[in-house]
Amino acid sequence: MRFDAKNLLAFVIPVGLIVVWQGLSLLGEVPPEVLPAPTDVVAAGWRLGASGELWSNIAISAWRAGVGFLIGGGIGFAFGLANGLSKLSERLTDPTLQMIRTIPHLAMIPLVILWFGIDETAKIFLVALGVSFPIYLNTLHGVRTVDAQLVEMGRAYGMTSRELFFRVVLLGALPSIFVGLRYALGIMWLTLIVAETISASSGLGYMAMNAREFMLVDVVVLSIVIYALLGKLADSVARWLERATLSWHPAYLAR
Amino acid sequence: MTARTLSSRSFASRGLAAAFSPISDRRSGEPTRLSVAGRGATVTLRGLSKAFGSKPVLKGVDLHIPAGQFVAVVGKSGCGKSTLLRTILGLEAPTSGDVRVADAAPNVRSARIMFQEPRLLPWARVLDNVVVGVGDRSDKAAARAAAQAALAEVGLADRAGEWPSALSGGQKQRVALARALVSHPRLLALDEPLGALDALTRIEMQTLVERIWREQGFTAVLVTHDVSEALALADRVVLVEDGAIALDLAVDLPRPRRRGSPELARLEGIILDQLFNAGARPGDAEDAPERARQEVYA
Ligand SMILES: Nc1ncnc2c1ncn2[C@@H]1O[C@H](COP(=O)(O)OP(=O)(O)OP(=O)(O)O)[C@@H](O)[C@H]1O
Ligand SMILES: [Mg+2]
């Protein structure tokens, strides 16, 4: 009972703000062309949902985010593992990767448009680029900081390299990898919003930009809310995964 | 064989205590307990030297450990005890000389090491940590059964499903002991495994180690700072000093040994004398006798 009440506490301020917002809108204090009432935003969502436009835009945005994330995350993860395990690989690739990392990936937008137009490739490329570095850095850090004593124990107890990798190194690096994962999810949405806003003919960012042209403020606000919800959803999935795989970790034991 | 200060007294005249203690009349150097004699590995080091870079740590160590013997290695911090142990186990390659375990090349499956820290995998349950020690893990069910039996042996059968972080320090070390023993090694190397435990837990663990050693008959090499621990457990105490064996003392006393018996005190005196005589070099703050004394008793 107590626990429930504590959980509800988190909602007091957001719900309060929405109520105030709705009240001010009804009183005419906030003109609808500046900020439409929450009910109008919900109505816009209903309208676009019924026409199917909303779902197709969410689907295409989620697809871009997912594919970009898999490609960029996969590359970052692979380099992180390789460079964490092999000095040779690290000497060969780490300086270059660190150099590329210093370029803000959104600064590449003009170039990416020149290369790929407003094709899907452009968005996926940007997302992949943005996502790969946090995953790379945190995987590398995780693998490097795996307890050397455990690795030695594994060797002394006759683990094969394969066993050593899967049972000691990878699991030891997992907490750090999750830090990278959650950070990368944030960058994924950010990159996608910017890319879709600047150059796209579909997706949530396009929906918002298109609505702006027609002064449909309710749809603009709706897009922002949906971005926020999707971001929260991704983060929750990552948290859940973290909790499920790190249940051994003292930080998660008590919960 | 090395030059040894073997005190081969006969205990035949020791009366009742000897009569009730089946292993009281064994002498170090002889294979003991016929039923288990075959289970221990023989360790032979010949002219073993080990240097890290240009820094020599071991300088031509000769040592023969017969099957089933319990040898304690004592010496000051940094004298190369761990290095000696790790070289025997094949975790370090000797710079020169050779190491033979059971007349074969160092074999990871027949030798196990217990470290100063438990070194349990925090992400594996207690039982799975013990499974790590099973030599042949291809049969999962058999491996788990063996691990469960080893846990029962150290008195932790009921904690099999827990995470290591839920155990106390002494319990973790017992899990580590189960992991080391589950494959029934022929050689067990112990690198100060009890150093971090409180005095009571330590004595409990010593009793446990001794009991299991007597049951299983493996060869045991125990590195320790604690001379009384060495004397409580070992058939033979080897003192390493300056990269070589400075003293090789047989401890032919009946088991279980009573702490504080005059005979133990006498042997302890011999070892401590040797430690401090060499340790009292002037101008060497690290080796100040006061410090060494504390360390030895720590
Ligand atoms: N991997 C290594 N690289 C370089 N030097 C090493 C290495 N391992 C050990 N040494 C050196 O070898 C010497 C002996 O180390 P060792 O760990 O064997 O000592 P020890 O007798 O076990 O000490 P302690 O009782 O404190 O554990 C030390 O001077 C140490 O600095
Ligand atoms: Mg040591």
Confidence of residue B278 (pLDDT cuts 50, 70, 90): low
What CA–CA distances, in Å, run from A196 to B177, B266, B281?
59, 85, 77
Confidence of residue A197 (pLDDT cuts 50, 70, 90): confident
The pLDDT of residue A5 is 72
Of B76, B81, B221, which is best to mutate to test ligand 1, by the most ligand atoms within 8 angstroms of its C-beta?
A: B81
The pLDDT of residue A253 is 67
The pLDDT of residue B135 is 80
Say yes or no to pLDDT of A191 above 70.
Answer: yes
CA atoms within 13 A on the CB side of A94: 16
Confidence of residue B38 (pLDDT cuts 50, 70, 90): low
Q: What is the pTM of this model?
A: 0.79
Amino acid identity, position A247: S
Of B58, B82, B294, which is best to mutate to test ligand 1, by the most ligand atoms within 8 angstroms of its C-beta?
A: B82
Relative to beta strand B55-65, strand B70-74 is unpaired
Which of A152, A159, A253 is the closest to B163 by Cβ? Answer: A253
Q: Which residues contact B110 (CB under 8 A, 6 or more apart)?
A: B41, B101, B102, B185, B186, B187
Of B49, B54, B73, B79, which is best to mutate to test ligand 1, by the most ligand atoms within 8 angstroms of its C-beta?
A: B79
Say yes or no to pLDDT of A248 above 90.
Answer: no
Confidence of residue A3 (pLDDT cuts 50, 70, 90): low
Say yes or no to pLDDT of A94 above 50.
Answer: yes
Confidence of residue B180 (pLDDT cuts 50, 70, 90): very high
Partner residues linked to B190 by β-bridges = B114, B222
Contact A171 B121 (CB under 8 A): yes
Rounded Cα–Cα distance for residues B116 and B193 (Å) = 4
B47 CA distance to ligand 2 middle (Å)? 21
A207 phi, psi to nearest 5 deg: -60, -45
Say yes or no to pLDDT of B290 above 60.
Answer: no
Rounded Cα–Cα distance for residues A195 and A209 (Å) = 11
Chain A CB contacts of B91 under 8 Å are 152, 155-156
Distance from the B24 Cα atom to the nearest Cα atom in chain A, whole angstroms: 34
Rounded Cα–Cα distance for residues B158 and B11 (Å) = 42
Rounded Cα–Cα distance for residues B222 and B188 (Å) = 8
Say yes or no to pLDDT of B284 above 60.
Answer: no
The pLDDT of residue A31 is 87
The pLDDT of residue B208 is 92
B77 CA distance to ligand 2 middle (Å)? 7
The pLDDT of residue B225 is 87
Angle at A213 between CA A207 and CA A217, to 5 degrees: 70
Residue predicted with more confidence, B298 or A133:
A133
Q: Which atom of ligand 1 is nearest to the CA of B92?
A: 1
A48-72 mean pLDDT: 94
Rounded Cα–Cα distance for residues B256 and B207 (Å) = 8
Residue A18 in contact with residue A38, Cβ under 8 Å? Answer: yes
3-state helix, strand, coil in chain A (%, to 5): 85, 0, 15
Rounded Cα–Cα distance for residues A239 and B69 (Å) = 53
| Three-class SS of A111-172 | HHHHHHCCCHHHHHHHHHHHHHHHHHHHHHHHHHCCCHHHHHHHHHCCCCHHHHHHHHHHHH
- Nearest CA among B163, B77, B117, B51 for reference residue A152: B117
Chain A CB contacts of B134 under 8 Å are none
- Domain ranges, ordered by start, for chain A: 40-247
Say yes or no to pLDDT of B3 above 80.
Answer: no
The pLDDT of residue B32 is 36
Say yes or no to pLDDT of B106 above 80.
Answer: no
Question: How is residue A108 annotated by DSSP?
Answer: G
The pLDDT of residue B273 is 87
Chain B CB contacts of A250 under 8 Å are 165
Amino acid identity, position B45: L
Indicate which residue's Cα is closest to atom 19 of ligand 1.
B78
Residues with CB under 6 A from ligand 1: B 52, 57, 75, 77-83
Say yes or no to pLDDT of B193 above 70.
Answer: yes
Radius of gyration of chain B (CA): 19
Say yes or no to pLDDT of B257 above 80.
Answer: yes
The pLDDT of residue B285 is 43
What average pLDDT is seen over chain B? 79
The pLDDT of residue A44 is 93
Rounded Cα–Cα distance for residues A191 and B120 (Å) = 42
A162-191 mean pLDDT: 94
Rounded Cα–Cα distance for residues A231 and A209 (Å) = 19
The pLDDT of residue A188 is 94
pLDDT digits (tens, 9 = 90+) for B209-254: 999 999 988 999 999 988 999 999 999 999 999 889 999 999 988 8
- How many other β-carbons are positioned within 10 Å of the β-carbon of residue B57? 21
pLDDT above 70 coverage of chain B, percent:
78
Which of A156, A168, A174 is the closest to B121 by Cβ? Answer: A168
Q: Which residues of A10-26 are buried (b: 16+ CB within 10 A; e: fewer)?
A: eeeeeeeeeeebeeebe
The pLDDT of residue A2 is 54
pLDDT digits (tens, 9 = 90+) for B196-210: 888 888 898 999 999
B288 CA distance to ligand 2 middle (Å)? 19
B43 CA distance to ligand 2 middle (Å)? 20
Say yes or no to pLDDT of B4 above 80.
Answer: no
Which of B121, B133, B135 is the closest to A150 by Cβ? Answer: B121
A211-240 mean pLDDT: 91
A21-39 mean pLDDT: 89
Indicate which residue's Cα is closest to atom 2 of ligand 1.
B52
The pLDDT of residue B25 is 35
Question: How is residue A106 annotated by DSSP?
Answer: G
Say yes or no to pLDDT of B30 above 70.
Answer: no
Radius of gyration of chain A (CA): 23
CATH fold group of domain A40-247? MetI-like fold (1.10.3720)
Which of B113, B132, B163 is the closest to A248 by Cβ? Answer: B163
Confidence of residue B109 (pLDDT cuts 50, 70, 90): low
Rounded Cα–Cα distance for residues B242 and B236 (Å) = 20
Chain B CB contacts of A156 under 8 Å are 89, 91, 108, 112-113
Ligand lying closest to the C-alpha of residue B191: 2
Rounded Cα–Cα distance for residues B23 and B31 (Å) = 11
Say yes or no to pLDDT of B8 above 50.
Answer: no
The pLDDT of residue B81 is 92
Q: Token pair for residue A142?
A: 């995780």
pLDDT digits (tens, 9 = 90+) for B110-152: 789 999 999 999 999 999 999 999 987 788 899 999 999 999 9
Question: How is residue A34 annotated by DSSP?
Answer: T
Contact B122 A253 (CB under 8 A): no
Which of A154, A156, A168 is the closest to B113 by Cβ? Answer: A156
> Is the N-terminal amide bond of B31 cis, ω within 30° of 0?
no
Contact B165 A157 (CB under 8 A): no
Delineate the domains of chain B, giving CATH numbers in brackets.
Answer: 38-104+187-298 (3.40.50.300)
Distance from the B89 Cα atom to the nearest Cα atom in chain A, whole angstroms: 8
B276-292 mean pLDDT: 48
Say yes or no to pLDDT of B20 above 90.
Answer: no
Confidence of residue B39 (pLDDT cuts 50, 70, 90): confident
pLDDT digits (tens, 9 = 90+) for A95-148: 999 999 999 999 998 899 899 887 889 999 999 999 999 999 999 999 999 999
Chain B CB contacts of A157 under 8 Å are 108, 112, 132-133, 179
Q: Is B278 left (phi over 0), alpha (psi -120 to 50) or beta?
A: alpha
| Three-class SS of chain B | CCCCECCCCCCHHHCHHHHHCCCCCCCCCCCCCCCCHHHCCCEEEEEEEEEECCEEEEEEEEEEECCCCEEEEECCCCCCHHHHHHHHHCCCCCCEEEEEECCECCCCCCEEEECCCCCCCCCCCHHHHHHCCCCCCCCHHHHHHHHHHHHHHCCCHHHCCCCHHHCCHHHHHHHHHHHHHCCCCCEEEEECCCCCCCHHHHHHHHHHHHHHHHHHCCEEEEECCCHHHHHHHCCEEEEEECCEEEEEEECCCCCCCCCCCHHHHHHHHHHHHHHHHHHCCCCCHHHCHHHHHHHHHC
Contact B121 A167 (CB under 8 A): yes
Confidence of residue A43 (pLDDT cuts 50, 70, 90): very high
Whose structure tokens read 């309060």? A16
Distance from the A66 Cα atom to the nearest Cα atom in chain B, whole angstroms: 29
What is the distance of C-alpha B247 from the center of its chain?
17
